[in-house]
Each structure stands twice: as C-alpha cells, then as structure tokens.
C-alpha cells in the first residue's frame, strides 16, 4: 500500500479517515477525490498531519475520464471508497442523485481499477485493494427481540438510500467474483463525531440546542440505532484494508443501541453540564416531536463478532465518553459550525424537512 485514493474524503467520515490514515501509515501518499457537494467541505481538512503526503482533486466519481486519469497518474494501488449520498431523508425527497452517485459512481470506480489492475496488470493483485464503505441499512429493520445484523443477514433495504447502497455492495462483490478484483466491504452502523454535517441527528440536536431552536424527534423517538464513534470506525476500516481477507464483508458497530430519544436527552444533559448559564437551560425543554418520516426503520443493531475474532477490533469509546467528546468538539469549533450552519441550502433543507412536519 503506497498510493491511496480516498473518495469522499472531504465529508464527515472520509475527512476523519484522511487524518487517521496519515497518522497511522507514515509511508503512504493520499489522493482525495471529492465533488465538494453540500456535505463535503475543505474546512474539514485543515491542519492535517504531514500534509506533504496529501493531494486534493475536486471532481465527481461518475466522471469516467477523470477517475481513469487519477488512477493512472497517481499509480493508485488502494481505493477507499467513502463517496456517497448518505441521508435517508434526502433520498426520500430526491432519490435520483442517490442512484447516480451511489450506484453509477461505484461502477465507474470499479471499471477504472479493473482496467488498471486487472487488464493492464499495473500491479500484482496481491498488492492492491478496493475497499467499499457501506451501511447497516442494507439489512432493513430489526424486530425488538431479533438478533443483530451479521454478515450473512439477507439484504432488505427499505429506503432509496439503503437500496442504492445495497446495489453498490452487490456490484463491488460481483467485480471481485467475476474479475478477481481484490475487494472488501464494511457495513457500519450510525456514525457520530467531529466534522459531521448538521443534517444528522447528533450535530443537529447540538447546534439547535445552542441557539434555542426546537430539537425535532421523529414520531415517538423510540427508534433504536447502533451508534459508532467515527474514530473507532476509522480504525476498523484500517484493519480491514491491512489484514482483512479479500472478498470478505465485515460489519462494524458501536456495541450500543439506545433509542433516539435517549440520545437526545443525553446530549441535553451534557449541554446542561457544560452550559449551566445558557438561556435555554434545561435544554431538554426544547424537544419537540414531529411527524415520522415515511418507512422509518425501527431498529438497527450490529454483530461485531467477525471483525473482533478475525482482526482483533473492538470499539474503544463508550457512548457516554464519545458523545461528550463530540459535544465538546462542536462547542470548541464555532468557526466551523457558523460556516456550515449559514449555508443557504442547509437552512432551506431544515425548513422543508422538519419545520413543515410540525417541528
């Protein structure tokens, strides 16, 4: 592993992984390809460790000529594929971009590395890897007492987002099986941590609470998710790329499954501790229940047995410790928060998605 292409490296998980990878792998060169859509931000990549080993390329993973050029120009031997449209609510309002980016974009990347690695034999296939980051949402929804998702759980996606990711998983696996491409896939649970765009639950709640805005809770708030701290996720991906068996899938979860309302109440209690003089104290008073979104899955949970047994990975952070780190990061990075929160398209989306539901 010498020259690594990271797609979507200006987004939330991708930018955290760029930082982690530069710090853990001193010999590699990173190329970050990102289209800088609403959720991708170069502010996420300031003050990188050892920036001399990092290059940024702005562009779309669906641009075949660009992707082929970058693969060959930088002699890429490893692809870590984060780039995706990833928000369920946005996929309900406008699914076409999810089909384009998540399916066609993944196909475009696979075609480029197949040509360079397999057809042109640029490297021995023992020394290359295409790693695809996916989601637990491809498995659908769990009943209250059902066992957690494992790598052999049948796919049953329930949203346009989940369906597009399920499709991309199948395409990646097919390229491994048909063309011998060394691939790996990870299906992760809900991530949280620094640099997360505030359309997702945790940063949305933190930032709304700071300004006294309502904290919107879908339906009864009893939907259950498996929450994974982003730095734990980055370590898991690194272990799969380094030591995971080609062709295999590994599930990555945080080993904690609170309900959404419990998450929001915990954030409120942390903010009460940090900001006892806030005019919005107690922050729990800002909670508002809004109409549930269509087809909302009730429960996700991940079984980490395989990645733990084969690669020795376990999450290092508990929900309480990592959530405090996350809240503290947003409190300390007001410049980043203000730049993101003032984006016109972000404000209009919040208006359409939450306030028009009655929040």
pLDDT score, position 345: 55
What mean pLDDT is predicted for residues 249-274?
96
The residues, ordered by sequence, that sit 6+ positions from 93 with a Cβ below 8 Å of its Cβ are: 352, 353
Which pLDDT band, with edges at 50, 70 and 90, does 89 fall under?
A: confident
**Cβ proximity of 51 and 120 under 8 Å:** no
Catalytic residue set: 136-137, 161
pLDDT score, position 90: 84
Tens digits of per-residue pLDDT, 129-140? 999 999 999 999
Distance CA 255, CA 219 (A): 24
Residue with tokens 């009730």: 298
Tell me which H or E stretch contains 216: strand 215-218
Tens digits of per-residue pLDDT, 157-205? 999 999 999 999 999 999 999 999 999 999 999 999 999 988 789 999 9
Which pLDDT band, with edges at 50, 70 and 90, does 217 fall under?
A: very high
Which pLDDT band, with edges at 50, 70 and 90, does 353 fall under?
A: low
Report the 10 Å Cβ neighbour count for 12: 24
What phi and psi, each to the nearest 5 degrees, are found at residue 252? -130, 115
Tens digits of per-residue pLDDT, 281-319? 999 999 999 988 787 878 999 999 999 999 999 999 999
Which pLDDT band, with edges at 50, 70 and 90, does 87 fall under?
A: confident
Percent of the chain at pLDDT > 70 equals 95
Show contacts of 208-211: CB within 8 Å, 24+ apart. Answer: 208/286, 209/267, 209/268, 209/271, 209/280, 209/283, 209/286, 210/271, 210/275, 210/278, 210/280, 210/330, 210/331
| Alpha helix (H) residue ranges in the chain | 12-24, 64-73, 88-93, 96-98, 106-113, 160-179, 201-210, 230-243, 260-274, 305-311, 319-332, 334-341, 344-353
Instruction: Indicate whether 86 pLDDT > 90.
Output: no
For the chain, domains (ranges, CATH) are 3-189+228-254+299-316 (3.40.50.720), 193-224+258-294+318-348 (3.90.25.10)
Instruction: Indicate whether 1 pLDDT > 60.
Output: yes
In the structure encoding, which two tokens stand for residue 145, read together? 């007492």
The residues, ordered by sequence, that sit 6+ positions from 332 with a Cβ below 8 Å of its Cβ are: none
Residue with tokens 């087809």: 295
Q: What angle do CA 175, 181, 183 make, to 5 degrees?
A: 85
pLDDT score, position 284: 96
Which pLDDT band, with edges at 50, 70 and 90, does 38 fall under?
A: confident
**Cβ proximity of 209 and 268 under 8 Å:** yes
Query: Mean pLDDT of all residues in the chain?
Result: 92
Tens digits of per-residue pLDDT, 332-344? 999 888 887 765 4
Instruction: Indicate whether 355 pLDDT > 80.
Output: no
pTM: 0.92
């Amino acid at each position: 592993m010498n020259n690594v292409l990271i797609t979507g490296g200006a987004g939330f998980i991708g930018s955290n992984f760029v930082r982690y990878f530069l710090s853990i792998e001193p010999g590699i060169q990173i190329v970050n390809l990102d289209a800088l859509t609403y959720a991708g931000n170069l502010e996420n990549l300031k003050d990188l460790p050892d920036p001399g080993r990092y290059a940024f390329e702005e562009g779309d993973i669906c641009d075949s000529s660009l992707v082929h050029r970058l693969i060959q120009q930088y002699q890429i031997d490893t692809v870590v594929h984060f780039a995706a449209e990833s928000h369920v609510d946005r996929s309900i309002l406008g699914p076409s971009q999810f089909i384009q980016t998540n399916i066609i974009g993944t196909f475009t990347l696979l075609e480029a590395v197949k040509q360079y690695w397999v057809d042109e034999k640029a490297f021995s296939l023992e020394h290359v890897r295409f790693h695809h980051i996916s989601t637990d949402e491809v498995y659908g929804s769990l009943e209250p007492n059902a066992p957690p998702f494992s790598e052999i759980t049948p796919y049953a996606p329930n949203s346009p987002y989940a369906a597009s990711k399920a499709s991309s998983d199948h395409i990646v696996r097919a390229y491994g099986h048909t063309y011998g491409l060394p691939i790996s896939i990870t299906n992760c649970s809900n991530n949280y941590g620094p640099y997360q765009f505030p359309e997702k639950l945790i940063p949305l709640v933190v930032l709304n609470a700071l300004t006294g805005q309502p904290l919107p809770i879908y339906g009864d708030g009893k939907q259950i998710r498996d929450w994974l701290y982003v730095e734990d996720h980055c370590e898991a991906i690194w272990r799969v790329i380094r030591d995971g068996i080609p062709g295999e899938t590994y599930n990555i979860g945080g080993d904690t499954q609170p309900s959404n309302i419990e998450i929001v109440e915990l954030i409120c209690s942390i903010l009460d501790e940090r900001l006892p003089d806030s005019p919005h104290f107690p922050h729990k008073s800002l909670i508002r229940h809004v109409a549930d979104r269509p087809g909302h899955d009730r429960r996700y949970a991940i079984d980490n047995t395989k990645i733990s047994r084969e690669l020795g990975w376990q999450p290092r952070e508990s929900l309480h410790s990592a959530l405090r780190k996350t809240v503290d990061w947003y409190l300390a990075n007001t410049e980043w928060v203000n730049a993101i929160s003032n984006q016109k398209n972000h404000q209009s989306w919040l208006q359409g998605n939450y306030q028009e539901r009655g929040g």
